[in-house]
């Protein structure tokens, strides 16, 4: 069985949010259309405590974009975003969630960030997503959402390492692009790791 994984389409990652991804809102209608083609859909949600170690605000004299050592992992510092229970952590209001089987929250440990929907960044914490998918007979995953060069990329790479046949729906994602080509480089990295890269129309009209 195949599953659609919808990664972190949350208000803080949408233009106007505290960690806005350019054109992040444009994936919402695309993802809503894609959902019509899948019977098994799972979402992920960044769900940080306010004291999270990835927030620049929690490190005096440090700025957004600087790197620190966070519990043994090189960590870029972000603006405060997707704090548990806030509007910014909620899914985009136009995103359809009525068909979703489950939501897996990540980034809940203040001592380590979690880009992937499967594991945190030091791979010590497991969200349970892999086990859940396998127990439900899922062998193939299609990944979309935000952002191409961070949470989508690491979810795709972990899906491959967990043995899932993995497809990136490239036009249903958008990149942070701290460096101009980060998104393109991320797609190349995912492809070289074994992910198939497709566009939405290939799923809507040819599957």
**Considering only CA atoms, which of 175, 172, 180, 159 is closest in space to residue 198?**
172
- Judge whether 151 counts as a catalytic residue: yes
The CA–CA distances, whole Å, from 86 to 71, 182, 183 equal 26, 29, 28
- Judge whether 8 counts as a catalytic residue: yes
The active-site residue, picked from 12, 144, 149, 151, is 151
**Considering only CA atoms, which of 144, 129, 128 is closest in space to residue 92?**
144
**Considering only CA atoms, which of 167, 163, 42, 165 is closest in space to residue 106?**
42
The active-site residue, picked from 12, 106, 120, 144, is 106
Given a contact cutoff of 8 angstroms between Cβ atoms, the answer to whether 31 and 169 are in contact is no
Residue pointed to by tokens 């995953």: 141
The active-site residue, picked from 8, 12, 25, 120, is 8
The CA–CA distances, whole Å, from 90 to 42, 56, 121, 136, 174 equal 15, 21, 22, 26, 18
Catalytic residues: 8, 106, 151
């Amino acid at each position: 069985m195949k599953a659609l994984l919808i990664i972190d389409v949350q208000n803080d990652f949408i233009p106007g949010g505290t960690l806005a991804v350019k054109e992040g809102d444009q994936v919402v209608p695309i993802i809503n259309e894609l959902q019509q083609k899948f019977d098994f859909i799972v979402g992920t949600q960044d769900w940080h405590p306010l004291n999270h170690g990835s927030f620049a605000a929690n490190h005096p004299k440090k700025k957004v974009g600087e790197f620190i050592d966070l519990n043994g992992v090189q960590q870029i510092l972000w603006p405060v975003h997707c704090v548990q229970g806030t509007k910014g952590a909620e899914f985009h209001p136009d995103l359809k969630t009525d068909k979703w089987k489950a939501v897996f929250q990540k980034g809940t440990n203040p001592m380590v960030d979690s880009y992937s929907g499967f594991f945190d960044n030091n791979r010590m914490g497991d969200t349970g997503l892999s086990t859940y998918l396998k127990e439900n007979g899922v062998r193939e995953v299609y990944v979309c959402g935000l952002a191409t060069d961070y949470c989508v990329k690491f979810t795709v790479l972990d899906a491959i390492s967990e043995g899932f046949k993995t497809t990136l729906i490239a036009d249903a994602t958008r990149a942070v692009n701290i460096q101009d080509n980060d998104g393109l480089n991320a797609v190349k990295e995912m492809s070289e790791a074994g992910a198939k890269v497709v566009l939405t129309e290939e799923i809507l009209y040819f599957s």
